[in-house]
Amino acid sequence: MRDLNNEGSDELQAKLTTMIAKTHLKLTRRQMMSGAASAGLLLATPVSKAFAQARVTVTEGNFQPIPIAIPNFVPGTQGDNEVASGIAQVITNNLKRSGLFAPIDQAAFIERISNIDVPPQFASWRQINAQALVTGRATRQGDGRLKAEFRLWDVPQAQQLTGQQYFTSPESWRRIAHIISDQIYERLTGEKGYFDSRVVFVDETGPKDRRVKRLAMMDQDGANVRYLTRGADLVLTPRFSPSTQEITYMEFGQGDPRVYLFNVETGQREIVGNFPGMSFSPRFSPDGQRIVMSMQQGGNSNLFVMDLRSKSMTRLTDTPAIDTSPSYAPDGGRICFESDRGGKPQIYVMGANGGAAQRISFGEGSYSTPVWSPRGDYIAFTKQGGGQFSIGIMKPDGSGERILTSGYHNEGPTFAPNGRVVMFFREAGGGPSLYTVDISGRNEQKVPTPGFASDPAWSPLLS
Amino acid sequence: MKIDKTLAASVALHVLVIGWGMVSFSTKAFESMPEDSVPVDIISADQFAKAMQGMKTGKKENPKPMVEKVAEAKPPVDDAVGKIEDKKPPVVTEAAPPPTPKPEEKPVEKKPDPPKPVVENKPKEEQKPAEKKPDQAKVDPIAEALKKEEAKKPPKPQQVKATPPEPQKQKAERPFDQSKIAALLDKRDPSRESITGAALNSQAALGTAKGRAADNSATWGAMFRQQVERCWKKPYGGVEAQKVEAVFTIKLKRDGTLETMPVPLPGGSSPYFRVYQESAQRAIIECQPYNLPAAYFDEWKFFEPAFTEKFS
């Protein structure tokens, strides 16, 4: 008797039908049972389409920084050692300070990278639990330029994620490092980076009662500090133009303060205008063509816009109150500003051409120095109440208010170009210093400056 | 041909019932619901056996748990009552804050039952988690409080990471023989799965109070989840975590390593989604080999982990 169980399913079915069809064949009970059992088995064997795969949902886990390994860049020639390791250091520092990456100590590395054009030994990087790896090379070219290349590797998947090469003058090696940092940041977080940018601030030196305040500019990591004014006169509220070549600020010259325009590259400066009154807190419009500022007349202060080409002034607000500290939305359509028309200083939003203003701050305390994020999704402000100065953010409609840091005394927030980090200054220990904090409230870091520093303003990305 | 009428009827009805069972479930992937997680302790099979038997013996042999990636060596426990209140193994709390309850409680409940015919066992096991669920929901998810409560309850719900068949086997008081037990279990598996297959629609016959499909994804799913979360460096999505979901299909070998690279299912095209998906993919690859119960290999050899921010 044939053993039906060993045959394929199709053949089986055929055999069954033939068996039953051939009436002259006597079907013994045993055969019938085996046939039925096989049929049953057939039905019982899992048909993969009919089964649904089990789905396991993974939601737990707090955000954690990505462990990343950044070995020193390979020097292309003997003389490139300093630049090669310098670039790796700047990248490591940038990524670490962002709080989103955890660079692994170089002492733990197992493999020495000597050639970046071949894949690294991923197993040895997996061993130290690196999830990403950056390899690079710096080579001085024959024509004097510096060539910098890098590759970003995904260690568990053993593949390259991105790679680039740059040519620049040798003095700009730090900028290359910042640009590479931005590339890595963007590839691994999905957000645009902010490392290739500068910060202009007021540098303060001297005893507290006779402070010398100079306009200063530096890279966002504290390097390359330049002084833009000599400190003879008081300077306040420097702000970057969206094109990054110009800074606008206030300086108390002979008596009345004036708004100035300073060209970073040429070093030249010009007066924005001669106004019969005090003018405060100027800010550029996103297209760089206008400056909005507040002007004081009598006891009031109102907002005005000046077109830089035609030098014509337009009044935006006309209230018997103090309207000041205006800031454009990134699309240029609206302005947020601080006004005490309701009693205490609060934040208002109105159209860029003036008109009705809506109040958006409603918490306990007074709100000041609003600044609109370059992404348009938040407005940062200084909040004062209960003896505390806090830096906070809220959505442009006033909802979602969140305090990032609190204490005595924090003031003057400014957004990084990607809208994810806020820099402010805090008065502590004899003088003010600059700090950055993530908009989630995490990762507060001090920004190194030569002396005391206040009133920072973050430039857009330089590249 | 002579065919017994009753035989024909019997065969026909069997084929009908089984066939109906095979085709009547939906093909939608069933979600394993996120259970309340509770922290648990790991004890060796030896300690567990002693707890069950209620005896103190002088000699403690701690059979090394298999492929134990994360548990720390637990000192043997004398106490018959099984007050397992030692410090929790770091695995439970590494990535997540300590009070986060882990979904071990439910599958754990099934273990202490002595090996019986599977069909009988299932309804009982399913009932227990259903009963226990309301209790745990009230319990403050602080590790110590939970442990104390667990220690009081008669079935000792402590065994999770080590292979579940071990305690059952110990209770039966046979000499420890892994292969024998494996053979035993393997023999039972097909029959269990055919029943499971037939009941993928929520069959009340299995006695689950919630009426969910009866498979064991709650058990091994929770174990997989906890192990992969350790490696998962979630990308920082800004202040509001964007609602993305990265789903993969993965194939595992018996030893818990990946058979192939995880295959991402399409889900989105934003740069943030890609970063999210890559981070999950790295996590899946980094955290292998996965220590999952061999008994349910047929379920976890091919499944879909879904990484998401949604807390459904």
Assess whether A185 and A202 both reside in one domain.
Answer: no
Q: What is the pLDDT of residue A72?
A: 95
**Where does a domain end: A154, A189, A224?**
A189
B215, B237, B239 ranked by CB distance to A54: nearest: B215
Q: How many domains does chain A have?
A: 2
Which residue is listed with tokens 């996103």? Answer: A286
* A117-126, A133-142, B11-20, B191-200: range with lowest mean pLDDT: B191-200
Task: Flag whether residue A439 sits within 8 Å of chain B, measured between CB atoms.
Answer: yes
H/E element, A41: helix A29-44
Mean pLDDT of chain B: 61
Tell whether A8 is covered by a domain.
no
Residue A148 in this model has a pLDDT that exceeds 60: yes
The rounded distance, in Å, linking the Cα atoms of A8 and A417 is 66
Residue A356 in this model has a pLDDT that exceeds 90: yes
- Chain A residues inside the 8 Å CB shell of B32: 54-57
Residue A370 in this model has a pLDDT that exceeds 50: yes
Residue A112 in this model has a pLDDT that exceeds 50: yes
Q: What is the pLDDT of residue B74?
A: 47
If DSSP codes are grouped into helix, strand and coil, which group holds residue A174?
helix
Tell whether A1 is covered by a domain.
no
* A187-191, A212-216, B88-92: range with lowest mean pLDDT: B88-92
- Chain B residues inside the 8 Å CB shell of A57: 31-32, 34, 225, 305-306, 308, 312
Assess whether A300 and A230 both reside in one domain.
Answer: yes
The answer for residues whose C-beta is within 8 angstroms of residue A184's C-beta and 6 or more apart is: A68, A91, A95, A132, A134, A152, A193
| Mean pLDDT within A366-374 | 94
CATH number of the domain bearing residue A405: 2.120.10.30
The answer for residues whose C-beta is within 8 angstroms of residue B173's C-beta and 6 or more apart is: none
- Of all residues in chain B, the percent with pLDDT exceeding 70 is 35
- What range does the domain containing A249 cover? 198-458
Q: What is the pLDDT of residue A17?
A: 55
Assess whether A177 and A215 both reside in one domain.
Answer: no
* A24-28, A332-336, A378-382: range with lowest mean pLDDT: A24-28
B238, B247, B299 ranked by CB distance to A54: nearest: B299
Tell whether A293 is covered by a domain.
yes
Assess whether A75 and A212 both reside in one domain.
Answer: no
Which residue is listed with tokens 């940092």? Answer: A181
Tell whether A317 is covered by a domain.
yes
Tell whether A36 is covered by a domain.
no
Q: Which of A18, A12, A14, A20 is nearest to A39 (CA)?
A: A12
Summarised one tens digit per residue, pLDDT across range A244-263 is 688 988 887 777 777 888 88
Summarised one tens digit per residue, pLDDT across range A252-308 is 777 777 788 888 888 888 887 666 666 778 899 998 889 998 888 888 899 999 988
Residue A12 in this model has a pLDDT that exceeds 80: no
* A1-10, A153-162, B158-167: range with lowest mean pLDDT: B158-167
DSSP secondary structure, B226-260, as one string: HHHHTT--B----SSPP--EEEEEEEB-TTS-BSS
Q: What is the pLDDT of residue B26?
A: 53
Q: Do B27 and A36 touch (CB under 8 A)?
A: no
Residue B240 in this model has a pLDDT that exceeds 70: no
If DSSP codes are grouped into helix, strand and coil, which group holds residue A39?
helix
| Mean pLDDT within A235-240 | 89
Assess whether A229 and A269 both reside in one domain.
Answer: yes
Tell whether A16 is covered by a domain.
no
- Chain A residues inside the 8 Å CB shell of B6: none
DSSP secondary structure, A60-106, as one string: ---B-PEEEE-PPPEESSGGGHHHHHHHHHHHHHHHHHHTSEEEPPG
Assess whether A354 and A375 both reside in one domain.
Answer: yes
What is the ipTM metric for this complex?
A: 0.73
**Where does a domain end: A160, A189, A218?**
A189
Assess whether A260 and A336 both reside in one domain.
Answer: yes
Q: Regarding predicted confidence, which is higher, B186 or A298? A: A298
The domains of chain B, with CATH numbers, are: 45-212 (no CATH), 218-308 (3.30.1150.10)
**Where does a domain end: A189, A224, A251?**
A189
If DSSP codes are grouped into helix, strand and coil, which group holds residue B87?
coil
The rounded distance, in Å, linking the Cα atoms of B1 and A229 is 112
Q: What is the pLDDT of residue B117?
A: 41
Assess whether A278 and A371 both reside in one domain.
Answer: yes
- Chain A residues inside the 8 Å CB shell of B100: 60
Q: With a CB-CB cutoff of 8 Å, which residues 317-346 of chain A face chain B?
A: none
* A373-387, B77-91, B206-220: range with lowest mean pLDDT: B77-91
B279, B282, B311 ranked by CB distance to A59: nearest: B311
Cα B32 versus chain centre, distance? 11
Assess whether A115 and A255 both reside in one domain.
Answer: no
Query: B84 in the Ramachandran plot: left (φ > 0), alpha (ψ -120 to 50) or beta?
Result: beta
| Mean pLDDT within A319-338 | 94
Residue A168 β-bridge partners: A146
Q: With a CB-CB cutoff of 8 Å, which residues 397-416 of chain A face chain B?
A: 402
| Mean pLDDT within B165-188 | 52
Assess whether A77 and A107 both reside in one domain.
Answer: yes
Tell whether A46 is covered by a domain.
no
Q: Do B3 and A39 touch (CB under 8 A)?
A: no
pTM over 0.80: no
H/E element, B131: helix B118-138
CATH number of the domain bearing residue A85: 3.40.50.10070
Tell whether A398 is covered by a domain.
yes
Mean pLDDT of chain A: 87
Assess whether A144 and A249 both reside in one domain.
Answer: no
Q: Regarding predicted confidence, which is higher, B270 or A411? A: A411
Assess whether A202 and A120 both reside in one domain.
Answer: no
* B81 band by pLDDT with thresholds 50, 70 and 90: very low
Q: Regarding predicted confidence, which is higher, A278 or B10? A: B10
